[in-house]
């Protein structure tokens, strides 16, 4: 798939799908079971991974594997998407928390 879609681009597409599904689709939060699913970045990243595989196949017109190798290929993309989205989201949250400017406390003089 590297010749079809660079790996870094596929990972960014996967994270973009994950972020969009989790944060930009409020109508999905109507059901409690779906709310629990959407709050799990790893879970949504897994599904975004196989969706990215399908998007790459649909756009490029070819698959990264032929025959029965398609199933492991989709599973690998899904698992890579889950791991990357979880790690990248944790990094983003860490940076958001630790980069906030601390308010200066007034000195009691």
Please compute the mean of the pLDDT values over residues 13-41 and round it to a whole number.
86
The C-alpha atoms of residue 39 and residue 23 are separated, in whole angstroms, by: 9
Higher pLDDT, 95 or 63: 95
Higher pLDDT, 89 or 32: 89
38-94 pLDDT per residue, tens:
889 999 999 999 999 888 888 877 666 667 788 888 899 999 999 999 999 999 999
* Token pair listed for 35: 């709310």
The C-alpha atoms of residue 50 and residue 48 are separated, in whole angstroms, by: 6
Place of tokens 């025959």: 67
Using CB atoms within 10 Å of the CB of residue 4, give its burial: 0 to 12 exposed, 13 to 18 middle, 19+ buried.
middle
Reported pTM = 0.75
Q: Name the 3-class secondary structure at 54.
A: helix
């Amino acid at each position: 798939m590297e010749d079809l879609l660079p790996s870094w681009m596929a990972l960014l597409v996967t994270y973009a799908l994950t972020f969009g599904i989790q944060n930009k689709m409020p109508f999905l939060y109507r059901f409690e079971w779906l709310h629990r699913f959407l709050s799990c970045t790893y879970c949504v990243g897994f599904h975004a991974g196989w969706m990215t595989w399908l998007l790459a196949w649909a756009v490029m017109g070819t698959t990264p594997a032929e025959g029965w190798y398609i199933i492991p290929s989709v599973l690998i993309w899904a698992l890579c998407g889950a791991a990357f989205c979880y790690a990248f989201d944790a990094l983003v949250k860490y940076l958001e928390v630790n980069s906030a400017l601390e308010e200066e406390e007034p000195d009691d003089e």
